[in-house]
């Protein structure tokens, strides 16, 4: 391959350094992912390394898929046996082969957050823990923390000293036992159990160590301890390990990512070669410079160089909206405007926000104005109630031990098996050391259950038994069979649920998804289908080819790029969130998130915020984000609703709060150019504008919080300007 045609010198060096530990530490848009991709292609095509020996780990399934496709097009052939995947998919793949060694069966189910929640609640009930003092979500976070640090339940119990901590550890232990009983793993367990497997069975580890002679990890800054440890185990034999990342883009500390994994890499691996990529290929210079300036405010970081190769481009634009609605309307307006004037398409726009809840208003307004959009959100398709119900049926059929799923569907649709009955069944199961399902089979033996109820239970059990006979059906056929046997469709049709129609449509779509899956994965089993839908994430459905604008959180945007980016809701309390103001670490992580957001933009970057916004059903005043004040003034310009320039400097005599205005205290010190007093501003007065040149004031609007000037420019017609903000001088 003619690598030098596609890579700069440093990238080239990284691609051709194959042996030994290699750290590529580089800023946003410097071509890190590109470098890994070419590195893989180079290994296979030029060095004739067997693709079987390569392992590449990406952050999302989407990134993995893309990398696979890129590599394929570079080497001109399919490399089927190459492992490019996320940590989670990698581990599932290993565990599906080996998990019997750990006492699970191969048809284990993967629990998502909601299943996890149900199970934790159960555990807390069993341990009689008062939910007033211990919140379920807090417990889940705690348990997740243990697993991210590879702390086993027994270790947690012996290590924890505090009263609350001891209780957390206890729940953790019971939760783990329950998971095992249910033959299930949660997300974190996928990694945890893989490590456990490697520790307990050195021969298995040795096999994978020999197999993966070359290992690459993208987005390494966001790995947690367990992931780090897993990689370390795998790389131990050959030490051909290449990690790539940017410490300034570490945005998942809250879920256990440890920035030190990347910072201490060289301490961990002797003779590490470090390569820095210092050219940014993605963004216009103004955008990049703003990003660089913002991140400079983080004190705990390694300084690095990132130079633009692109021209300045347009200045960053800031719009202050009166309300959240206006904010969304502005975005619509701008999208349409610059599509027309600059020829962008819908797919060129990314709208990024801090919290998922912010997307709603945008959806509403986009629908109203017929802007095609794609929402990358948290309420995933597969998490809708009706879909989860069907999945729970499938899981119950596939994995007889899965109690969480069983409980979910035992009375869904309502068939008269209520809480009281379930408690009785549960008790019986406990006493006899059998599973809940088995106690249902034996429900005739339980004297406290009426014959009528026990008949209903038997009916249900029979449905499951009959379905188990049909496991070998194609997934889509199987789903249809479930629906038929259970009578789910009729149940929905007859229900008064106002959403029944949508639910039916969703089920329709679910079946389509299954058909789709079968087409793509010929002969795949139902287990594989389940796994696929549990591990698939939201960003994975982002498709840059589709002709719609994209709505997503800043977190999801990591690794992507858009010609035009809107960062919306730039308000203190939202971004950065209130918590950040108490904790430096949180603030710095937030700032990194801001850095990530800014650097997604290639050509044009907008910031918006709303003066008034409803939060929790209460409308309150907002102030503009602290991060905005960290952007140098000469890189950003205030614009009005129609996208015309408004701002730049402050006029001292008109500031309401005396010499040190609020803005001056919290923003970059603004230059005060004129000592003009209010009564000197009158119609007929000559002024000079930074971009529009000389002109004369023709009208003055004195509002409560700003003064609007209508200025007739000698060469630019009449413009509306804000006295406060416009870059004007009085002459």
- Please list every residue from 124 through 153 that binds DNA, using CB under 7 A: 131, 135, 137
- Contact string (CB under 6 A) for ligand ATP, positions 202-241, x = contact: ----------------------------------------
Residue 60 DSSP SS3: coil
Q: Is residue 723 near ligand ATP by the rule CB under 6 A? A: no
Tokens read off for 438: 């088995």
Distance CA(29)–CA(598), nearest Å, equals: 11
Q: Which of 10, 11, 32, 538 is catalytic?
A: 32
Q: Provide the minimum distance between the beta carbon of 355 and DNA in the complex, in angstroms, as a whole number.
A: 3
Distance CA(354)–CA(553), nearest Å, equals: 5
Stretch that binds ligand ATP, among 21-29, 165-173, 481-489, 722-730 (CB under 6 A): 21-29
Among DNA, ligand ATP, none, partner that 537 touches (CB below 5 to 8 angstroms by kind): DNA
Identify the residue among 556, 572, 608, 625 touching DNA (CB under 7 A).
556
Identify the residue among 32, 42, 622, 626 touching ligand ATP (CB under 6 A).
32
Task: Examine the residue annotation and report whether 725 is marked as an active-site residue of this protein.
Answer: no
**Is residue 342 within a helix (H) or strand (E), and if so which, with residue range?**
helix 324-342
- Sign, CA dihedral 515-516-518-519, equals positive
Q: Is residue 31 near ligand ATP by the rule CB under 6 A? A: yes
Among DNA, ligand ATP, none, partner that 31 touches (CB below 5 to 8 angstroms by kind): ligand ATP
Identify the residue among 21, 256, 559, 695 touching ligand ATP (CB under 6 A).
559
Task: Examine the residue annotation and report whether 66 is marked as an active-site residue of this protein.
Answer: no
Taking CB atoms, the residue at the shortest distance from ligand ATP is 31
Identify the residue among 477, 586, 652, 663 touching DNA (CB under 7 A).
586
Identify the residue among 10, 22, 25, 29 touching ligand ATP (CB under 6 A).
29
Distance CA(60)–CA(556), nearest Å, equals: 10
Strands 54-58 and 373-375: unpaired
CA dihedral 363, 369, 370, 373 (to 10 degrees): -30
Stretch that binds ligand ATP, among 30-38, 119-127, 265-273, 481-489 (CB under 6 A): 30-38
Q: Provide the minimum distance between the beta carbon of 375 and DNA in the complex, in angstroms, as a whole number.
A: 11
113 vs 281, beta carbon nearer ligand ATP: 281
Strands 707-713 and 717-722: antiparallel
Distance CA(29)–CA(282), nearest Å, equals: 5
- Please list every residue from 451 through 470 that binds DNA, using CB under 7 A: 453
Closest CA to 119 of 464, 436, 507, 432: 436
Q: Provide the minimum distance between the beta carbon of 618 and DNA in the complex, in angstroms, as a whole number.
A: 8
617 vs 658, beta carbon nearer DNA: 617
Q: Which of 37, 223, 227, 249 is catalytic?
A: 249
- Contact string (CB under 7 A) for DNA, positions 392-431, x = contact: -------------------x--xxxxxxxx----------
How many CB atoms neighbour CB 528 within 10 A?
A: 15
Give the residues across from 110 on adjacent strands.
185
Q: Is residue 622 near ligand ATP by the rule CB under 6 A? A: no
Stretch that binds ligand ATP, among 3-11, 420-428, 479-487, 571-579 (CB under 6 A): 3-11
Sheet strands side by side (includes 241-245): 83-86, 54-58, 214-217, 241-245, 22-26, 273-277
Q: Is residue 86 near ligand ATP by the rule CB under 6 A? A: no
Q: Is residue 187 near DNA by the rule CB under 7 A? A: yes
Give the residues across from 650 on adjacent strands.
672
Q: Is residue 28 near ligand ATP by the rule CB under 6 A? A: yes
Tokens read off for 98: 């080996």
Give φ, ψ of 79 to 5 degrees: -115, 80
Task: Examine the residue annotation and report whether 518 is marked as an active-site residue of this protein.
Answer: no
Encode 244-264 in three state secondary structure.
EECHHHCCCHHHCECCHHHHC
Are the C-beta atoms of 681 and 723 separated by less than 8 Å? yes
Under DSSP, the state recorded for 99 is G
Q: Measured between alpha carbons, how far is residue 265 from residues 23, 235, 259, 510 in Å?
A: 7, 13, 10, 44
Among ligand ATP, DNA, none, partner that 221 touches (CB below 5 to 8 angstroms by kind): none
- Please list every residue from 274 through 333 that binds ligand ATP, using CB under 6 A: 281-282
Is residue 705 exposed (0-12), middle (13-18) or buried (19+ Cβ within 10 Å)?
exposed
Task: Examine the residue annotation and report whether 219 is marked as an active-site residue of this protein.
Answer: yes
- Contact string (CB under 7 A) for DNA, positions 614-633, x = contact: xxxx----------------
Task: Examine the residue annotation and report whether 118 is marked as an active-site residue of this protein.
Answer: no
Q: Is residue 649 near DNA by the rule CB under 7 A? A: no
Q: Is residue 184 near DNA by the rule CB under 7 A? A: no
Distance CA(217)–CA(235), nearest Å, equals: 11
Distance CA(561)–CA(350), nearest Å, equals: 8
Identify the residue among 15, 23, 34, 205 touching ligand ATP (CB under 6 A).
34
Q: Provide the minimum distance between the beta carbon of 36 and ligand ATP in the complex, in angstroms, as a whole number.
A: 8
Q: Is residue 70 near ligand ATP by the rule CB under 6 A? A: no
Q: Measured between alpha carbons, how far is residue 54 from residues 11, 13, 635, 680 in Å?
A: 19, 19, 44, 73
Q: Is residue 87 near DNA by the rule CB under 7 A? A: yes
Is residue 360 exposed (0-12), middle (13-18) or buried (19+ Cβ within 10 Å)?
middle
Are the C-beta atoms of 42 and 13 separated by less than 8 Å? no
How many CB atoms neighbour CB 226 within 10 A?
A: 22
Q: Provide the minimum distance between the beta carbon of 501 and DNA in the complex, in angstroms, as a whole number.
A: 16
How many CB atoms neighbour CB 493 within 10 A?
A: 11
> From start to end of 593-692, where are the E strands?
601-610, 612-615, 618-621, 636-639, 686-689
112 vs 248, beta carbon nearer ligand ATP: 248
Q: Which of 600, 613, 646, 725 is catalytic?
A: 600
Among ligand ATP, DNA, none, partner that 539 touches (CB below 5 to 8 angstroms by kind): DNA
145 vs 649, beta carbon nearer DNA: 145
Q: Which of 10, 188, 218, 724 is catalytic?
A: 218
Q: Provide the minimum distance between the beta carbon of 86 and ligand ATP in the complex, in angstroms, as a whole number.
A: 15
11 vs 209, beta carbon nearer ligand ATP: 11
Give the residues across from 245 on adjacent strands.
25
Among DNA, ligand ATP, none, partner that 11 touches (CB below 5 to 8 angstroms by kind): ligand ATP
Identify the residue among 307, 342, 468, 579 touching DNA (CB under 7 A).
579
Alpha helices in 496-634 (DSSP H): 500-520, 526-535, 584-598
Q: Which of 11, 33, 358, 550 is catalytic?
A: 33
Task: Examine the residue annotation and report whether 477 is marked as an active-site residue of this protein.
Answer: no
Distance CA(75)–CA(244), nearest Å, equals: 22
Q: Is residue 640 near DNA by the rule CB under 7 A? A: no
Among ligand ATP, DNA, none, partner that 246 touches (CB below 5 to 8 angstroms by kind): ligand ATP
Distance CA(356)–CA(443), nearest Å, equals: 45
Give the residues across from 672 on adjacent strands.
650
Q: Considering CB under 6 A, how many residues would be counted as binding ligand ATP? A: 18
Positions touching ligand ATP (CB under 6 A) are 7-8, 11, 26, 28-34, 246, 249, 281-282, 559, 561, 599
Which residues have a catalytic role annotated?
A: 32-33, 218-219, 249, 600
Enumerate binding residues for DNA (CB under 7 A). Answer: 59-61, 86-88, 113, 131, 135, 137, 187-188, 251, 254-255, 354-357, 378, 411, 414-421, 453, 496, 535, 537-539, 553, 555-556, 577, 579, 586, 614-617
């Amino acid at each position: 391959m003619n690598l030098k045609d596609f890579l700069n010198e440093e990238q080239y060096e990284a691609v051709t350094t194959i042996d030994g530990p290699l750290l590529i530490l580089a800023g946003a848009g410097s071509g890190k992912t590109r470098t890994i991709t070419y590195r893989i292609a180079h290994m296979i095509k030029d060095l004739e390394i067997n693709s079987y020996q390569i392992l590449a780990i990406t952050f999302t399934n989407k990134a993995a898929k893309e990398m696979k496709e890129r590599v394929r097009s570079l080497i001109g052939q399919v490399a089927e046996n190459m492992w490019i995947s996320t940590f989670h998919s990698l581990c599932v793949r290993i565990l599906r082969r080996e998990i019997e060694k750990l006492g699970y069966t191969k048809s284990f189910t993967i629990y998502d957050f909601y299943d996890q929640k149900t199970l934790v609640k159960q555990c807390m009930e069993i341990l009689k823990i008062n939910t007033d003092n211990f919140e379920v979500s807090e417990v889940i976070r705690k348990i997740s923390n243990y697993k991210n640090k590879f702390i086993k339940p027994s270790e947690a119990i012996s290590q924890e000293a505090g009263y609350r901590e001891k209780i957390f550890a206890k729940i953790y232990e019971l939760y783990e036992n329950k998971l095992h009983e249910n033959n299930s793993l949660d997300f974190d367990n996928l990694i945890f159990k893989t490590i456990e497997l490697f520790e307990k069975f050195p021969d298995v580890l040795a096999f994978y160590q020999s197999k993966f002679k070359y290992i690459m990890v993208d987005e390494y800054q966001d790995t947690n301890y367990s992931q780090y440890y897993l990689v370390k185990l795998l790389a131990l034999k050959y030490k051909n390990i290449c990690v790539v990342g940017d410490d300034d883009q570490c945005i998942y500390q809250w879920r256990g990512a440890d920035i030190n994994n990347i910072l201490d890499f060289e301490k961990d691996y002797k003779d590490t070669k470090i390569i820095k990529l210092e050219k940014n290929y993605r963004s216009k210079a103004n955008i990049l410079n703003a990003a660089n300036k913002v991140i400079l405010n983080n004190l705990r970081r390694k300084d690095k160089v990132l130079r633009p190769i692109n021209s300045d481009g347009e200045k960053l634009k800031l719009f202050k909206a009166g309300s959240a609605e206006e904010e969304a309307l502005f975005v619509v307006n701008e999208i349409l405007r610059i599509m027309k004037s600059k020829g962008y398409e819908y797919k060129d726009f990314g709208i990024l926000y801090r919290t998922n809840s912010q997307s709603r208003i945008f959806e509403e307004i986009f629908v109203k104005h017929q802007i095609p959009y794609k929402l990358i959100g948290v309420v995933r398709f597969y998490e809708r109630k009706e879909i989860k119900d069907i999945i729970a049926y499938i899981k119950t059929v596939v994995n007889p031990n899965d109690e969480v799923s069983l409980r979910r569907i035992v009375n869904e649709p309502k068939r008269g098996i209520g809480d009281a009955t379930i408690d009785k069944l549960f008790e019986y199961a406990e006493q006899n050391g059998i599973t809940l399902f088995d106690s249902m089979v034996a429900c005739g033996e339980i004297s406290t259950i009426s014959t009528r109820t026990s008949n209903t239970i038997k009916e249900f059990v029979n449905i499951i038994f009959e379905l188990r006979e049909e496991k070998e059906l194609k997934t889509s056929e199987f789903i249809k069979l479930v629906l038929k046997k259970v009578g789910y469709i009729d149940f929905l049709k007859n229900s008064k649920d106002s959403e029944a129609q949508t639910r039916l449509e969703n089920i329709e779509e679910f079946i389509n998804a299954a058909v789709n899956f079968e087409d793509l994965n010929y002969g795949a089993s139902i287990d594989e289908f389940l796994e696929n839908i549990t591990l698939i994430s939201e960003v994975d459905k982002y498709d840059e080819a589709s002709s719609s604008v994209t709505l997503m959180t800043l977190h999801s945007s990591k690794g992507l790029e858009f010609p035009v980016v809107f960062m919306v809701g730039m308000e203190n309390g939202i971004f950065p969130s209130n918590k950040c103001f108490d904790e430096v670490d949180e603030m710095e992580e937030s700032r990194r998130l801001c850095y990530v957001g800014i650097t997604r933009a290639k050509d044009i970057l907008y910031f918006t915020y709303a003066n008034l916004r409803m939060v929790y059903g209460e409308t309150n005043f907002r102030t503009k984000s602290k991060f905005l004040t960290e952007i140098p003034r000469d890189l950003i310009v205030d614009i009005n609703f129609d996208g015309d320039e408004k701002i730049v400097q402050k006029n001292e005599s008109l500031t309401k709060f005396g010499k040190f205005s609020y803005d001056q205290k919290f923003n970059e010190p603004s230059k005060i150019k004129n000592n003009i007093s209010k009564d000197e501003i009158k119609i007929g007065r000559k002024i000079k504008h930074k971009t529009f040149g000389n002109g004369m004031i023709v009208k003055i609007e004195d509002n409560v919080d700003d003064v609007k000037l209508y200025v007739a420019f000698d060469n630019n017609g009449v413009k509306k300007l804000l006295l406060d903000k416009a870059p004007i001088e009085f002459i």
